[in-house]
């Protein structure tokens, strides 16, 4: 009998994990969701081998159970799982964006003799649902695990090995509270800022529609994530309340300093903060570099036409150039698109450039100004 992985909540993250497990492991992948339509879609798309709206049916005999529902629901599922006859040795994990609260719930499973190890893949999108899921979502991203001091080391290793094999992510272990502090600053606070800014400008726009019409790169680049799922973010912010309050206090101080500098006409202060932040932004570690394997990238401008991505992939395929990933720069929506092409081998990368150029695409590689610009997504 096939070994089984049950995924609870087959949305963007659960669906993407399901695709990865199906593609790169020999586990049978079972989906569970409260939405029957989602289960049907997950089966049609080939994300899961089997789907259920009944939790006991979904998790029976599962070797791994991964909870991928909104953060506010994860504790409820842990409680329900603890009252089901799970397979001996099962490892339960989750993908929630906060970890301290969930890790506390995990003790309920441990008391029943099951293993719980919190997890959080640091990749995603403002899109949601299984229709946006894909097997490459986590490739080269960090994937954090937050075991407790009493967690079984061999279970941590087993889960880590499985996730690495399926997702090609970089697995790291972190303390749950520390994780919440870090992601509070680099993920949760940015979502609050983007959402607040869109709401503020929305108020101005209600009185005068030019605010939205003139919104160009600056506003769009900064606010893509304001289009994220409201329930997911409601749950994340309430779950990470303890970390969010001091982070928001610091942010308000920062904005007050800005306000005061502008008010007193302090050119030096303004220039200095822009200069420091520019250097910090440019010095961010490249997400795609130096992780699992070297990666070579180039970007091309594409017209906003149906089928264009397929044309680029086919063009390279016809010349037997292996692409490892295609990424559409999300913040270019409604404008000419920018496609980032990733290659595993230098030889593929070097052959792709002249082929794309000959087909009329302008290519931008790492060192060009244009790529510096598109990396600001
Ligand atoms: N979206 C991201 O960028 C991202 C990244 C990393 C982690 N996460 C975390 O992953 C989890 C899922 O997020 P997502 O982006 O996949 O959301 P999603 O909305 O795409 O998917 C959630 C899925 O869970 C199902 N669901 C909702 N409530 C449920 C319930 N009570 N019982 C069973 N199924 C239920 C929905 O039908 C949907 O299929 C969240 O905890 C989120 O914090 C999200
Ligand atoms: O790319 C996005 O749209 C995301 O918001 C992804 C993002 C992030 O903030 O980086 C959002 C929440 C997750 O917990 C992890 C990743």
Cβ neighbors of 110 (< 8 A, separation 6 or more) are: 116, 150
Most informative mutation of 45, 70, 72, 126 for ligand 1 (most atoms within 8 A of CB): 70
Å from CA of 68 to ligand 1 middle: 5
Task: pLDDT band for 302, please (50, 70, 90 cuts).
Answer: confident
Q: Say whether pLDDT at 47 is over 90.
A: yes
The least confident of 171-175, 354-358, 368-372 is 368-372
Q: Which residues line ligand 2 (CB under 6 A)?
A: 97, 122, 124-126, 187, 225, 228
pLDDT at 181: 98
Per-residue pLDDT tens over the stretch 65-91: 999 999 999 999 999 999 999 999 999
Taking the C-alpha atoms of residue 90 and residue 88, their distance in angstroms, rounded to an integer, is: 6
| pLDDT at residue 287 in the model | 63
Q: What is the pLDDT of residue 329?
A: 67
- Best mutation site among 6, 13, 55, 238 for ligand 1 pocket (most ligand atoms within 8 Å of CB): 13
Residue 54 in this model has a pLDDT that exceeds 50: yes
- What pLDDT, on a 0 to 100 scale, did the predictor assign at position 334? 42
Mean pLDDT of 190-208: 98
pLDDT(198) > 70: yes
- The region that residue 89 occupies, defined by phi over 0 for left and psi between -120 and 50 for alpha, beta otherwise, is left
The dihedral built from the CA positions of residue 341, 342, 348 and 351, taken in this order, carries a sign that is positive
> Region 312-327: what's the mean pLDDT?
90
- Kindly report, residue by residue over 204-223, the tens digit of the pLDDT: 999 999 999 999 999 999 99
pLDDT category, 376, cuts 50, 70, 90?
very low
Band the pLDDT of 363: cuts 50, 70, 90. confident
CA of 240 to the centre of ligand 1 (A): 17
Q: Are 67 and 94 in contact (CB under 8 A)?
A: yes
* pTM for the full predicted model: 0.82
pLDDT reading at 289 higher than 60: no
| Whole-number pLDDT of residue 368 | 34
C-alpha distances (whole Å) from 27 to each of 114, 163, 221, 357 are 20, 12, 39, 42
Say how many Å lie between the CA of residue 183 and the centre of ligand 1: 17
ipTM of the complex: 0.98
The answer for residues whose C-beta is within 8 angstroms of residue 333's C-beta and 6 or more apart is 220
**Is 336 or 349 the better-scoring residue by pLDDT?**
349
Average pLDDT over residues 342-346: 85
Q: Which of 70, 95, 122, 227 to mutate to test the pocket of ligand 2 (most atoms within 8 A of CB)?
A: 122
pLDDT at 374: 25
Question: Which range (74-83, 228-237, 251-260, 353-362) has the least confidence?
Answer: 353-362
Which of these, 107, 104, 113, lies nearest to 85 by C-alpha position? 113
> Is pLDDT above 50 for 327?
yes
Ligand 1, residues at Cβ distance < 6 Å: 9-14, 33-35, 38, 68-71, 73, 95-97, 120-121, 124-125, 128-129, 229, 232, 236
Looking at the predicted structure, is the pLDDT value of residue 370 above 80?
no
What average pLDDT does the structure give for the chain?
A: 91
Q: From the CA of 183, how far away is ligand 2's center (Å)?
A: 9
Domains of the chain in sequence order: 4-177 (3.40.50.720), 180-282 (1.10.3660.10), 296-374 (3.30.2130.10)
What's the pLDDT band for 299 if we cut at 50, 70, 90? confident
The residues, any chain, with a CB within 8 Å of residue 151's CB and separated by 6 or more, are 115, 116, 117
**What's the rounded mean pLDDT across residues 122-145?**
94
Sign of CA dihedral 50, 55, 61, 67: positive
Q: Residue 375 — pLDDT band, cuts 50, 70, 90? A: very low
* Region 324-342 average pLDDT: 66
Helix axes 36-45 and 12-24, enclosed angle (nearest 10): 30
CA of 137 from ligand 2 middle (Å) equals: 11
Per-residue pLDDT band at 276 (split at 50, 70, 90): very high
Say if residue 226's pLDDT is above 90: yes
What is the mean pLDDT of the segment spanning 336-351? 82
pLDDT above 70 (res 228)? yes
């Amino acid at each position: 009998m096939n070994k089984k992985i049950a995924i609870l909540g087959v949305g963007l993250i659960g669906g993407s994990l399901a695709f990865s497990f199906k593609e790169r492991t020999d586990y049978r992948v079972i989906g569970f969701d409260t939405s029957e339509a989602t289960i049907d879609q997950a089966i049609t798309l080939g994300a899961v081998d089997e789907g259920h709206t009944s939790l006991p049916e979904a998790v029976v005999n599962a070797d791994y159970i991964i909870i991928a529902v909104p953060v506010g629901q994860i504790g409820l599922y842990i409680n329900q799982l603890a009252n089901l006859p799970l397979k001996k040795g099962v490892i339960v994990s989750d993908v929630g964006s906060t970890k301290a609260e969930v890790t506390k719930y995990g003790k309920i499973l441990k008391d029943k003799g099951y293993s719980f190890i919190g997890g959080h893949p640091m990749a995603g999108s403002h899109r949601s649902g299984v229709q946006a899921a894909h097997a490459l979502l986590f490739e080269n991203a960090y994937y954090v695990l937050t075991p407790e001091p009493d967690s079984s080391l061999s279970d941590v290793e087993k889960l880590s090995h499985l996730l690495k094999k399926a997702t090609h992510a970089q697995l790291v272990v972190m303390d749950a509270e520390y994780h919440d502090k870090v992601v509070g600053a680099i993920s949760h606070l940015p979502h609050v800022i983007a959402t607040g800014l869109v709401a503020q400008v929305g108020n101005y726009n209600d009185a005068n529609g030019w605010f939205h019409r003139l919104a160009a790169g600056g506003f769009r680049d900064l606010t893509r994530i304001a289009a994220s799922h409201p329930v997911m973010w409601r749950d994340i912010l309430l779950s990470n309340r303890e970390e969010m309050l001091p982070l928001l206090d610091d942010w308000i101080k920062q904005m007050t300093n800005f306000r005061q500098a502008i008010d007193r006409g302090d050119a030096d202060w303004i220039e200095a903060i822009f200069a420091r932040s520019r250097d910090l932004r440019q010095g961010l570690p490249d997400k795609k570099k130096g992780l699992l394997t070297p990666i070579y990238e180039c970007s091309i401008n594409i017209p906003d036409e149906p089928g264009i991505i397929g044309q680029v992939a086919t063009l390279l395929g016809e010349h037997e150039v292996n692409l490892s990933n295609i990424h559409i720069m999300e913040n270019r929506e409604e404008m000419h698109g920018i496609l980032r092409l990733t290659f595993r081998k230098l030889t593929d990368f070097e052959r792709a450039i002249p082929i794309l150029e000959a087909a009329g695409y302008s290519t931008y590689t790492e060192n060009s100004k244009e790529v510096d610009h598109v990396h600001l997504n």
